[in-house]
Amino acid sequence: MSRSSFETNKVIAAVLVTLLLGHLAGLLSDALIHPVMPEKHAYAPVDVAAVSTSGGGGESASAEAAIEPIAPLLSLASVERGQAIAKKCTACHSLVKDGPNMVGPRMWGVVGGHQRHIADYAYSKAFQGLTGEWSYEELNKFLVKPAKYAPGTKMSFAGIKSAQERADLILYLRTLGDSPPPLP
């Protein structure tokens, strides 16, 4: 037997011993540990049929209808907290009176203003059909999930889930205007 074949045999033997030890360790661990399976799932399985008929997005129609009214939360809202939240908006929106339009329109005068409140901004087709005003409640609905409020909008912001954070932001946005509407 040559020296190189002896080395090859040692390598093959080492691999076989390693595989044998791994298999024996698996058998030993199965014998020592007996997992107890819970009687019910920690997370309820998702009813795929219900999700697909609810309009997609994994949200049911009742969850969409359950947007908390913003008026009671505005009395607890904080302009300072809203200003901090608005920093997210500055990536795409200007917050100053004569600020430029950016990826999105400037936000000066948005509260109480028309939903297409900036005349020199090229709104997406999703906004072309909007004819109302940005009331407190409309802003609340929009900020939950902009893509759901105006399907096809070019605004990629995911939304704000917390009703109190939306109230804080709306109260701050109210300060960005010459004649904001009265609080509800």
pLDDT per position as a tens digit, 22-39: 999 988 888 888 767 777
pLDDT tens figures, 74-110: 999 999 999 999 999 999 999 999 899 999 999 999 9
Residue 27: per-residue pLDDT:
87
Cα–Cα separations (whole angstroms), residue 29 to 15, 23, 32, 35: 21, 10, 5, 11
Instruction: Give the CA dihedral 101, 107, 109, 112, nearest 10 degrees.
Output: 130
Residue 66: per-residue pLDDT:
80
Q: Mean pLDDT across the chain, nearest whole number?
A: 85
Residue 140: per-residue pLDDT:
94
pLDDT tens figures, 100-128: 999 999 999 999 999 998 888 888 888 88
- 93-100 long-range contacts, CB within 8 A, separation 24+: 95/176, 97/176, 97/178
pTM for this prediction? 0.64
On the question of pLDDT at 64 being above 80, the answer is no
Cα–Cα separations (whole angstroms), residue 48 to 13, 123, 134: 51, 35, 35
Q: What would the mean pLDDT of 129-148 be, rounded to a whole number? A: 92
Instruction: Give the CA dihedral 145, 146, 150, 154, nearest 10 degrees.
Output: -140
Give the tokens for residue 119. 């005349």
**Percentage of the chain lying above the pLDDT 90 cut:** 53
Residue 86, sorted as left (phi over 0), alpha (psi -120 to 50) or beta, turns out to be alpha
On the question of pLDDT at 2 being above 70, the answer is no
Reply yes or no on domain 69-174 having CATH 1.10.1670.10. no
Sign of CA dihedral 9, 15, 16, 18: positive
Return the domain boundaries, the chain.
69-174
Q: What are phi and psi of 69, to 5 degrees?
A: -60, 140
